Amino acid sequence: MRQGDKEAAVRRLLDTPHPPVPGDLAARAAARGDRARRRERTLRRTGGALAGIAALAFSLWAAEARPWEPPPAATTPPFAGP
């Protein structure tokens, strides 16, 4: 499309009557935003609690299993005694 055609299309759109807007649109939008904010806050808190529980479980496992220590030898070296 050329620039003039685009301008003409926009002018035609703007010249048409605008659709009616519901009177309670702002109140519904605010309520929807409040619900979204509460849902996000709940998900964030739940995620934080799950992350804390996972960190605690990992700490307890690491304290018991001690993965940083080498495993005990499976066989003993031969005895070269007197």
pLDDT of the chain along its 82 residues, tens only?
577 889 999 999 889 888 899 999 999 999 999 999 999 999 999 999 999 999 999 999 999 999 888 887 777 777 777 6
Residue 57 lies in a domain: yes
4 inside domain:
no
Asked, for residue 18, whether it belongs to a domain, the answer is no
33 occurs within a structural domain:
yes
Number of compact structural domains in the chain: 1
For residue 44, tell me if it sits in a domain: yes
Question: Would 42 be classed as within a structural domain?
Answer: yes
Structure-block tokens of residue 71: 């495993």
Domain containing residue 31 = 26-64
Per-residue confidence (pLDDT) for residue 42, from 0 to 100? 98
The answer to the question of residue 38 being in a domain is: yes
Q: What is the DSSP string of 12-32?
A: HHHHSPPPP--TTHHHHHHHH
